[in-house]
Amino acid sequence: KNQVEQSPQSLIILEGKNCTLQCNYTVSPFSNLRWYKQDTGRGPVSLTIMTFSENTKSNGRYTATLDADTKQSSLHITASQLSDSASYICVVIHSGGYNKLIFGAGTRLAVHP
């Protein structure tokens, strides 16, 4: 069964600290993996996109890693800011026919001053 699991479910950190969010998937065949940021009550916005041949991708203070052998990805946030408070969703693209996105349930991050 194609699934995406994220951990932790929620996380609270202090402003300026770093954090790492985890994503494990069982999607096959796999095309690429994305991390989205979703502010409360808004639609998700793409942060990073990685194909199976890429190990790491950065977007400012966000760095995503991918291990296609173990089917694990992580999103590292450096020097967190209050505006980083949001849900972070791991999405794996199932490469079968049309572009079917398999969504994780997300990690809800709260950055406190």
Q: Establish if 43 lies at the interface with other proteins (CB under 8 A).
A: yes
Residue 113 is given by DSSP the state: -
Kindly indicate which of the ranges 13-21, 22-30, 35-43, 71-79 contains the residues binding other proteins, using the contact rule CB under 8 A.
35-43
What residues from 63 to 82 belong to the interface with other proteins (CB under 8 A)?
A: none
Residues 93-112, one symbol each (x = binds other proteins by CB under 8 A, - = not), give x----xxxxxxxxx------
Which stretches does DSSP call E strand in the chain? 4-7, 10-14, 19-25, 30-38, 45-51, 56-59, 62-67, 72-77, 86-96, 98-103, 107-112
What is the nearest approach in angstroms of other proteins to the Cβ of residue 54? 14
Instruction: Decide: helix, strand or coil at residue 68.
Output: coil
Instruction: Decide: helix, strand or coil at residue 22.
Output: strand
- Among 2, 24, 32, 72, the residue binding other proteins under the rule CB under 8 A is 32
Instruction: Decide: helix, strand or coil at residue 83.
Output: helix
- Which positions lie near other proteins, rule CB under 8 A? 4, 9, 31-32, 41-46, 49, 89, 93, 98-106
